[in-house]
Amino acid sequence: MSTRSEPAGARSADRRRAGLLAATEPVRAAASAGALALTYPLLRGAPRGEPHAVLVLPGLLASDASTVTLRRWVRGLGYPVVGWELGRNRGPTKEITEALPKLVTRLAEQHGGPVSVVGQSLGGIYARRLALRVPRLVRQVVSLGSPFGLAGRPADGTPGARAYDRYRHLHSVSGRPRGGLGGSLPVPSTAVYSPWDGVVDWRACRQEPGPRAENVGVHASHLGMGHDPAVLWLVADRLAQTREDWRPFTPPARLRLLYTRDDED
């Protein structure tokens, strides 16, 4: 009797927690903005590396307006950075799936080398697909709260999955790449996730770790990742990595509390 009731109770607790996280997303996103203002003096010491092109991709139903803070941060670090300029993200439509490889090609030609691609939520799934389609043009991928582990699978009931399903009839991508999007990529990749994500299942935002593949946990909300101090520092640190000597992320001591530990997940 207790064996049956415990899983049911656990599922009920999970649903309550998910509902609370979803309801508080806007408030927690605003808290990240406030934390950014408080920690900005510390962030000014963020790493800087070799200048190269950076492409920032927005999440579902968002546009370049949602990544203004992130792009301003990257630009301040000395990198030429652009948004995708494709309007509102309604999922992998034919227009988007055809335009993104062309955009990466143009940026690589303009700046004389591979492009780092930073994608928020669904934008991170696009980034991983780009790494598989045109690996010689992609320097690295950084995904922020991107549930690539669910790509090609039925909706899991999270708010993000339900929103994605509403636009599925417009999408031209079906199925999953061989090996799935959570497997090894031909370029270095950093998957940022948050156990406090109220829009997607954070467990689907993690990849299989490897020599050039890592997962980094933060305390941010889903909507607040693009302006969360921990995320901004991490993006700076990843962009500063050289192509020849990529190393896993290590949080700086003064910001260590902004990142999750393995025993917190």
Q: Is residue 219's pLDDT more than 90?
A: yes
Contact 145, 120 (CB under 8 A): yes
pLDDT-derived band at 173 (thresholds 50, 70, 90) equals low
pLDDT tens digits along 28-70:
888 888 888 888 888 989 999 999 999 999 999 999 999 999 9
Question: In the Cβ-directed half-sphere of 140, how many Cα atoms lie within 13 Å?
Answer: 23
Q: What is the three-class DSSP state of 141? A: strand
214 or 181, greater pLDDT: 214
pLDDT-derived band at 1 (thresholds 50, 70, 90) equals very low
Q: Which residue has the tokens 């649903």?
A: 15
pLDDT mean over 94-98: 95
What pLDDT shows up at residue 243?
82
Percent of all residues in the chain with a pLDDT value above 90, rounded to a whole number: 67
In angstroms, what CA-CA distances link 204 with 27, 74, 180? 23, 26, 12
- Bridge pairing between strands 189-193 and 115-120: unpaired
Name the average pLDDT for the chain.
Answer: 90
What pLDDT shows up at residue 162?
86
What pLDDT shows up at residue 169?
85
Q: What are phi and psi of 177, to 5 degrees?
A: -60, 155
| Strand partners for 56 | 118
Query: Which pairs with CB-CB distance under 8 Å and at least 24 residues apart come from 202-210?
Result: 202/145, 203/149, 204/147, 204/148, 204/149, 204/150, 204/156, 205/124, 205/143, 205/145, 205/146, 205/147, 205/148, 205/149, 206/149, 206/182, 207/148, 207/149, 207/182, 207/183, 208/182, 208/183, 208/184, 210/184
Percent of all residues in the chain with a pLDDT value above 70, rounded to a whole number: 90
Q: Tokens for 260?
A: 């999750």
What pLDDT shows up at residue 152?
60
pLDDT mean over 131-154: 90
Q: Is residue 4's pLDDT more than 60?
A: no
Q: What is the pTM of this model?
A: 0.89
What is the C-alpha separation between 253 and 175, in angstroms, rounded?
Answer: 42
Q: What is the three-class DSSP state of 140? A: strand
Amino acid in position 211: P
* Crossing angle between the packed helical segments 25-43 and 2-23, to the nearest 10 degrees: 70
What is the C-alpha separation between 216 and 141, in angstroms, rounded?
Answer: 13
Q: Is residue 175's pLDDT more than 60?
A: no
What pLDDT shows up at residue 262?
63
Q: Is residue 159's pLDDT more than 80?
A: yes
